[in-house]
Structure 1
Amino acid sequence: MSGVLNTVDQRTNLVGENRLELLLFSLNSSQIFAINVFKVKEVLKVPPLTKLPGANHNITGVATLRGEAVPVIDLRAAIGFPPSKMENQEQNLIVTEYNRSVQGFLVGSVRNIVNTAWNEIQPPPKTTGRSNYLTAITQIKENDLNRIVEIIDVEKVLAEIIDYDVTISDGVLDERLIAQMQGRKVLVVDDSSTARNQVRDTLSQLGLEIIMCSDGLEALQLLKKWSSEGLNVAKELLMMITDAEMPEMDGYKLTNEVRNDPNLQDLYMTLNTSLSGSFNEAMVKKVGCDRFISKFQPDLLVEVCQTRLRDIL
């Protein structure tokens, strides 16, 4: 199993090229699910778990991995299937890092890694409703047949287990800027409805008007439409806040496209992503973003908006 991810550190060069690699797995059903390899730390057989009294019902227990206590989430139960049964079924643990926290997901069999492009990743059909646990779907060829792969909205799963508070801490809000914030527009681009709502609920407290798009291509088309209508987009928007990983077009490609459009290139852009670390700092410089924020940090979102407003006043 350790061999599945033995070259994961070499895969980061795919990010920024509108490509990604997906780790495919099952939840002991016929369906194929996936998450982005870049967020996976390791895959291993399920170690001994310690039960925690009073924990969320989707937390199976805590695993001790190299001295670190890692909560283990039964992913099957968390997305609405009957809970996993440990006996007589293959069980594996996918250890991930999202939003500056480490957690393990209890899954069934772990299949393989596939290399694909973001433009081959599609949003889930609108007829699936708003309560589904998917950010996107794609297809793979298997035995000469096309199989649907369902990409899990991990941020939605985590938000239902961890209470993400959008309260702004005392002392963060600059009272002198409140009047200037009223009605200014921020474009929020994220494929996770949970993540979009977190940003909206945070920044709407400042009186900002939040416009939301669910992927980079939708956002780029909207920006170009505004530009074609004669709007000065950089003045119309206080900023754009974009996720990195999205179907159709990722946030890095979106940023690059904006910077290469003479009518859009002055737009202030902030990358807001669950991918952490110095790698993203480097990517921000490479593609031309102005700021980078690791999700989910309400105070920092507010600070970025306030700093931008001070710069233009």
Structure 2
Amino acid sequence: MAGVMDSVNQRTQLVGQNRLELLLFRLDGPQLYGINVFKVREVLQCPKLTVMPKSHPVVCGVASIRGATIPILDLAMATGSGALKDQSSPFVIITEYNTKTQGFLVGAVERIVNMNWEEIHPPPKGTGRDHYLTAVTRLDNQLVEIIDVEKILSEVSPSSESISQGVVDVDTHTKAVSLRVLTVDDSSVARKQVSRCLQTVGVEVVSLNDGRQALEYLRKLVDEGKDPSEEFLMMISDIEMPEMDGYTLTSEIRSDPRMQNLHIILHTSLSGVFNQAMVKKVGANDFLAKFRPDDLASRVVDRIKEADHS
């Protein structure tokens, strides 16, 4: 238990400092890719795979790892580059996204680097809408591409976006129409998922792409004499974002008396192991795993009822 707590404490030191650790890897060529270490459970040589009939073409098979059956996705194929060519000694990166575990087949794994989110930037404009990048950075004069894994997973195994009957009652929906929710997420897929869910609840949605943009937007509001907690029912923010992560965004909001009362939910695909410690440290009201429409809608409904009684 002491070892687990040491790990929690070590990782939470990065929280609110706008820092992250990236695991660097390659597919077929020299191009470097990165994935947040928080998402990684382990890295291993590719085990024996069992091909599953009628599975998605991107799924190379399933592997039995530590007693669990885990789907293995060919990351090169998933991003439109064709199947991994060199499969003589591939690696598998076992990850957890949105409470689901899957492995990504890659050509080589390099090392872990500690970076600042300010060094991570959105994909260059002009790359179109069909790319699979969520961000880019430079390391030793080499471009590192960070893949939008949520987009890949939404294509391979789409999650339901519908809200169950009874989650939103007529009275709450009526009250929701006059309310607004601010959402912040760098993934276009996640932004659309959240917006559709919230619009079903009935609230108006204002969507922004990263923490820096959100902080500037909120600061402009308060400079105009407006209170964000009165303008918005709540802010629902992703954690991993270029320029400024959700932890730092939350810390900045809480440190400004003019907007510190804004209700904040961190909406994350990160593993839940460290979330409680992180949420407490930065002062968020709650966290929620992506993407569970009923849970998200319920949080908004609860907030509407709280606001109605305040």
TM-score normalised according to structure 1 size: 0.93
Q: How does 1:138-177 map to 2 (within 5 A)?
A: 138-141=137-140, 146-177=141-172
After superposition, what is the alpha-carbon deviation per residue over 1:178-215, rounded to whole angstroms, capped at 9, x for unaligned?
11001411111111111111101111112211111111
1:49 is paired with a residue whose SS is coil
After superposition, what is the alpha-carbon deviation per residue over 1:145-201, rounded to whole angstroms, capped at 9, x for unaligned?
x00000111111111111111110122112221110014111111111111111011
Aligned residue-pair number: 302
Displacement of 1:85 in angstroms is: 3.1
Residue 291 (structure 1) aligned with residue 291 (structure 2) = no
- The answer for unaligned runs of 5 or more in structure 1 is 1-6
Deviation by residue 1:59-108 (Cα, 9 ceiling, x = unmatched): 00001001100000000000010111354x44110000010010000001
Between 1 and 2, higher relative CO (CA 8 Å, sep ≥ 6) is seen in 2
**1:133 aligned to 2:128?**
no
C-alpha spacing 1:12/1:77, structure 2 compared with 1 (3 Å): farther
Percent identical across equivalent pairs? Answer: 50
- Residue equivalent to 2:3: none
Residue 105 of structure 2 is matched in structure 1 by 106
Partner of 1:62: 62
Whether the 8 Å contact between 1:272 and 1:292 is mirrored in structure 2 is yes
Please list, as runs of the form range in 1=range in 2, the aligned pairs for 1:222-233 lying within 5 A after superposition. 222-233=217-228
Q: Secondary structure at the match of 1:248?
A: coil
Per mean C-alpha deviation after superposition, the further-off stretch among 281-290 and 235-244 is 281-290
Instruction: Quote the residue 1:79 is aligned against.
Output: 79
SS of 2:213 mapped into structure 1: helix
1:248 to partner: Cα distance: 0.8
Separation in 2, partners of 1:12, 1:274 = 17
Cα 1:57/1:202, change in 2 over 3 Å: same
What is the rounded CA distance, in whole Å, between the counterparts of 1:84 and 1:8 in structure 2?
Answer: 34
Deviations 1:99-134 (A, max 9, x none): 001000000111111111001111111211121111
Contact preservation (8 Å) 1:60, 1:74: yes
Q: Does 1:95 align with 2:87?
A: no
Range 170-179 or range 63-72, more displaced? 170-179
| AA at the equivalent of 1:91 | P
* Residues 135 and 146, structure 2, Cα contact 8 Å, conserved in 1: yes
| Matching residue within 205, 219, 224 for 2:214 | 219
Residues 49 and 61 of structure 1 are in contact (CA less than 8 Å); yes or no, is this contact kept in structure 2? yes
The residue that corresponds to 1:119 in the other structure is 118
Q: Conserved in 1, the CA contact under 8 Å of 2:121 and 2:136?
A: yes
State the superposition RMSD in angstroms.
1.5
Q: Contact between 2:180 and 2:233, CA under 8 Å: does it hold in 1?
A: yes
